[in-house]
Amino acid sequence: MPDPIEISVVIPVFNEELNLPRLFERLYPVLDGLGRRYEIIFTNDGSHDRSFELLRERHAARPDVTRVINFNANYGQHMAVVAAFERVRGRVIVTLDADLQNPPEEIPKLLALTDAGHDYVGGFRLNRKDSAFRTLASKCINVVRSRITSIEMTDQGCMLRAYSRPIVEAVVQSGAINTFIPALAYSFAGNPVEVGVKHEERHAGVSNYSVYRLIRLNFDLITGFSLAPLQFFTMFALFCSAGSLALVLYLAYRRIFMGAEAEGTFTLFGILFFLLSVAMVGIGLIGEYVGRTYQVVRSRQRYFIKEVLETRT
């Protein structure tokens, strides 16, 4: 019997042909140098470029430690990670981006902390190398998240993290569809810790996240972990309707005791439009939660795997 696998490294890959060769060059020596049994699971998330061919070659070169999951289409970074989570064999699972923004050389730092008994090690990026807009936006969302959820996290966007196996199993079990993995895993952690890790510019290519995808992702984070937006909205709506009730009573009073009047019509329109917009935001917000409920209730297969390259050891 060979020793059990200690470390599983999980890497989602979407159109990373320019980064993969360099990633292989840097990652394998780091892991080989640990002197522990490990495996690397790459999920090809429907790349349109040569990423999968490169992964196939890599699997042929290092079949002992390389496994490749090939999706039929693009399901997003988090689904790619979940698919790998369902297949991990290691005792500790490390997630990493393929674009070398998280230096593989930092992995031993995380492992030192899991060895010390932490079941969740979250990385946060020291001197973050992203655009000013991204950095600012992520600071704002951090503030909102820490207010309305009980998740304590310095940097939710950092994917360089290590989890113990039971936490990864809990993430898989929870079967969520729109999953923000670092936050979901955090909610299962018993002894979490954070550590600063270096951050580099993307080695090549551009970020896969447009502003639209980022908004979707952060909506996932907020509505996936909290009903606060719904509750805030209800409170705000109550407040507004109390105000408008007072206004209606006042207008009725004036109508009865002072007679009809046409002045102030536009003020009234203003108020009306405002209330309408409040109602529309509310409908949208409710729709968001209903949509999520629908997705979970429908329980459709979350992704489809075309093939898995692995060698049973």
Give the total of residues touching ligand UDP (CB under 6 A): 16
CA–CA separation, 109 and 6 (whole Å): 16
Q: Does 101 bind Mg ion (CB under 5 A)?
A: yes
Closer by beta carbon to ligand UDP, 13 or else 65? 13
Q: Does 94 bind ligand UDP (CB under 6 A)?
A: no
Region of 28-36, 206-214, 226-234, 281-289 interacting with ligand UDP (CB under 6 A): 206-214
Distance of CA 197 to the CA centre of its chain: 18
Minimum Å gap between C-beta 151 and ligand UDP is 18
DSSP per-residue string spanning 178-240: S--HHHHHHHH-SSEEEEEE-----SSS--S--HHHHHHHHHHHHHHH-SHHHHHHHHHHHHH
Among 39, 41, 66, 97, binds ligand UDP (CB under 6 A): 97
Helix, strand and coil in the chain, % to nearest 5: 50, 15, 35
| Stretch 105-144: interaction string toward ligand UDP, x if CB under 6 A | ----------------------------------------
Q: Does 138 bind Mg ion (CB under 5 A)?
A: no
Among 8, 70, 101, 226, binds ligand UDP (CB under 6 A): 101
Q: What is the DSSP letter of 260?
A: -
Residue 186: which residues within 8 A CB-CB, separation 6 or more?
A: 120, 122, 151, 152, 153, 192
Among 16, 17, 39, 99, binds Mg ion (CB under 5 A): 99
* Binding partner of 17, given ligand UDP, Mg ion, none, CB within 5-8 angstroms per partner class: none
Question: According to CB under 6 A, which residues from 154 to 173 bind ligand UDP?
Answer: none
Tokens 């952060």, residue located: 218
Q: What is the DSSP letter of 38?
A: E
Among 142, 208, 244, 295, binds ligand UDP (CB under 6 A): 208
